[in-house]
Structure 1
Amino acid sequence: MEWRKYYLDMTLVPLGFFITFGYYVWLWHKTRTDPSCTTIGINAHGRRLWVPAMLKDIEKKNILVAQSLRNLIMGSTLMATTSILLSAGLAAVISSTYSVKKPLDDVIYGAHSEFMIALKYVTLLTTFLFSFFCHTLSIRFLNQLAILTCTPQDAMSLVTPEYLVEIFERGITLNTVGNRIFYSALPLLLWIVGPVLVFLCYIAMLPMFYNLDFVSGSGKTKIEVNGKKDYV
Structure 2
Amino acid sequence: MNTISAFIQTNWRYIVDMTVFVVCVLILGGYQMRLVRRSRQSPTRTVSGMNALARTAWVERVMREDRDVMAVQTLRNSTMAATLMASTAVILILGILNMLANADKIGPALHVLNPTGSHEPGIWIFKLMLILVDFFVAFFSFSLAVRGYNHVGFLINVPKDTGNHGVTPVKVALHLNRASAYYGIGMRTYYFSVPLVLWLFGPVWMLIATVGLLMILNHLDHLPQQED
Q: TM-score, normalised by structure 2?
A: 0.90
Residue in 2 aligned with 1:148? 155
1:97–1:104 Cα change, 3 Å = closer
Residue in 2 aligned with 1:95? 101
8 Å Cα contact 2:111-2:202 kept in structure 1: no
4+ residue segments displaced more than 4 Å: none
Residue in 1 aligned with 2:4? none
Residue in 1 aligned with 2:129? 122
Q: Which stretch has the larger CA shift, 123-132 or 3-12?
A: 3-12
8 Å Cα contact 1:36-1:219 kept in structure 2: no
Counterpart amino acid of 2:150?
A: N
Q: TM-score, normalised by structure 1?
A: 0.88
Distance 1:115 1:184 in 2: 22
Residue in 2 aligned with 1:173? 181
Identity level (%): 28
Q: Once the 2 structures are TM-superposed, how far is the Cα of residue 151 of structure 1 from its aligned partner?
A: 2.1
1:56–1:216 Cα change, 3 Å = same
Q: Once the 2 structures are TM-superposed, how far is the Cα of residue 152 of structure 1 from its aligned partner?
A: 2.7
Residues 146-192 of structure 1: CA deviation (Å, up to 9, x unaligned):
12222232241222212211110110011111111121011211111
Contiguous gaps of at least 5 residues in structure 2: 1-6
Counterpart amino acid of 1:189?
A: V
Distance 1:78 1:121 in 2: 23
The structure richer in helix per residue is 2
SS at match of 2:159: coil
Distance 2:216 2:111 in 1: 32
1:130-141 equivalences under 5 Å are: 130-141=137-148
Q: Once the 2 structures are TM-superposed, how far is the Cα of residue 98 of structure 1 from its aligned partner?
A: 4.9
Q: Once the 2 structures are TM-superposed, how far is the Cα of residue 97 of structure 1 from its aligned partner?
A: 6.8
SS at match of 1:106: helix
Aligned CA RMSD, in angstroms, stands at 1.7
8 Å Cα contact 2:191-2:213 kept in structure 1: no
Q: Once the 2 structures are TM-superposed, how far is the Cα of residue 39 of structure 1 from its aligned partner?
A: 1.3
Question: Aligned match of 1:77 in 83, 101, 114?
Answer: 83
Residue in 2 aligned with 1:108? 114
8 Å Cα contact 2:104-2:121 kept in structure 1: no
Contiguous gaps of at least 5 residues in structure 1: 221-232
1:1-232 equivalences under 5 Å are: 2-58=10-66, 61-96=67-102, 98-109=104-115, 110-154=117-161, 155-218=163-226
8 Å Cα contact 1:8-1:196 kept in structure 2: no
